[in-house]
Structure 1
Amino acid sequence: MSGAGGWDDPRQVRRVQAAGDAAWDPGAWPFALPPVAQLLAEGLELAPGVTFLVGENGSGKSTLVEAIAEAAGLNPEGGSPNALHSTRRTESPLGSMLTLVRGHSARRWGYFLRAETMHGLYTYLESVGTGPRLHEMSHGESFLEVLTERFDQTGFYVMDEPEAALSFTSCLALVDLLARLATAGAQVVCATHSPLLTALPGATILELGEHGFAPVGWEDLALVQHWRGYLDDPRRYLRHVLEEDGRGADG
């Protein structure tokens, strides 16, 4: 047997789908979100390499990546399968309702990196003595340190808006890391608002919205079009925003 799903399938995770015994209220959060409803109804076939989830705030990006990370056995607050820290659970119950169909040669190593819980992850890593004093670094430096030290082998990696901590140059370094991971056979699922990251050659981009989720080309992403328009003429965008709050485009 060969090809997708065969013994030579290189994917760490072939598919994310609802567990056989999962039950939920379709009118309740987060199950009423169209991307979540689509995932539970249809499942999600994951491509090799890097998959980006893109959409407006509230579209369900973080909800999906948190749940996928939890279904993969990763700490929902960030870290590897061995990370045991927990502060306050804020994740939805979706993770307990999903199951992953893994590749035949999949490794159990993985890592979940999410910008909003990095303080707790750093505290945990320092408490168990694994690595440098992350709290003594800048936010961006510590983020890159974790990326380079933990995202270093074939496995399944999940990221939630990693660009939040990174400068333009550091985002380029992250693109290079993602490309090297994909080449080495790792698989990455990343929620992002970054047109820079999503320009990674060969990546799969899923745009989330009221339609659910669907693949889209980088050029057709709404966020790419908005950033192009804004950088071309910031005043055209700011005029509307500042007029709405009564300040006017010129202050």
Structure 2
Amino acid sequence: MVRVAEREDSELDHGSWPATIPAVAQLLRDGLDLAPGVTLLVGENGSGKSTLVEAIAMAYGLSPEGGTTHSVHRTRPSESPLASALRLTRGLGAGRWGFFLRAETMHGWYTHLEENPGSNPFEPRFHEMSHGESFLAVLQHRFDSPGFYCLDEPEAALSFSATLALVGTLHDLARMGGQVLCATHSPVLAALPGATLLEVGEWGYREATWEELDLVQHWRAYLADPQRYLRHVID
């Protein structure tokens, strides 16, 4: 179990971004208990999903640009000040290992690995793979032990079948005692059995079932009748 709450000595301005995002305001006000297993944040662009995942990953000690607790690197700082205002409380006996998978900055982490090679001679050369292939290789080589895993829209690089493989990986992590926090737009990921779903929006965040998610309802309606949506965006 990981509890996320605002630090008592926080100097974050609650009247400015990102504290004005409803989901962030709720976190600062009420805190957030991350259930054992997988917690998925689902919502529209701009709802605060990635801001929460980024800040929680950084508060845990992970690089804002992705990687493990042992490979902190940074190219161009762009993160919000939220992380410095948060305190994470972990259960007794919990390990410190973690990984942050962030779709848009993973190439920077690949470069970091090439410049700072580890002791694993079987580690693949991620830069020599396609975007999707490298993500699948990361899942195979790095998502293999209990720890705290943060993922920001990992489906961005993955096909349908590869997203199903990610579902299997996250399920296995939860079974071995790992804890996962993931922001996603994917109804495939959101269907992960046993996952806690938090729908993020103008209300903040609230627990929901898969069937209740706006994401799922929109995809179902679109696949049933694409023209119902497309006639509004195509002349």
Task: Give the TM interval when normalised to the shorter protein.
Answer: over 0.9
Distance 2:188 2:225 in 1: 19
Aligned to 1:124: 112
Q: Which moved more, 1:38-47 or 1:80-89?
A: 80-89
Name the CA distance, whole Å, in 2 between partners of 1:233 and 1:84.
46
State which structure, 1 or 2, has the greater radius of gyration over its C-alpha atoms.
Answer: 1
The aligned length equals: 231
- Residue of structure 2 aligned with 1:137, choices 115, 129, 139: 129
Answer yes or no: is 1:210 the counterpart of 2:202. Answer: yes
1:159 to 135, 151, 162: 151
| CA–CA separation in structure 2 for the residues paired with 1:161 and 1:184 | 23
Asked if residue 71 in structure 1 is aligned to residue 63 in structure 2, the reply is no
Structure 2 residue aligned with 1:183 = 175
Question: What residue identity is the alignment partner of 2:193?
Answer: P
Corresponding residue number in structure 1 for 2:37? 49
1:189 match: secondary structure = strand
Deviation per CA, 1:110-143, whole angstroms, max 9, x where unpaired?
1000001011011111222242211110100001
Native 8 Å contact 2:187 2:216 kept in 1: yes
Amino acid at match of 1:62: S
Give the alignment partner of residue 60 of structure 1, picking from 38, 48, 51.
48
- In the superposition, the TM-score normalised over structure 1's length comes to 0.90
2:93 to 105, 116, 121: 105
In 1, distance between residues paired with 2:33 and 2:213? Answer: 21
Question: SS in structure 2 opposite 1:218?
Answer: coil
Structure 2 alignment gaps of length 5 or more: none
Question: CA shift at 1:27, angstroms?
Answer: 2.1
Task: Compute the TM-score of the two structures, normalised by the length of structure 2.
Answer: 0.96
User: How far apart, CA to CA, are the structure 2 residues paired with 1:145 and 1:71?
Assistant: 26
Distance in 1, matches of 2:78 and 2:142, equals 24
Note if 1:92 corresponds to 2:84: no
1:227 to 212, 219, 228: 219
Structure 1 distance, partners of 2:140, 2:11, is 39
Compute the displacement of 1:224 (Å).
0.3
Question: 4+ residue stretches of structure 1 with deviation over 3 A?
Answer: none
* 2:62–2:72 CA contact under 8 A, matched in 1: no
CA RMSD of aligned residues (A): 0.8
Q: What's 1:4 paired with?
A: none
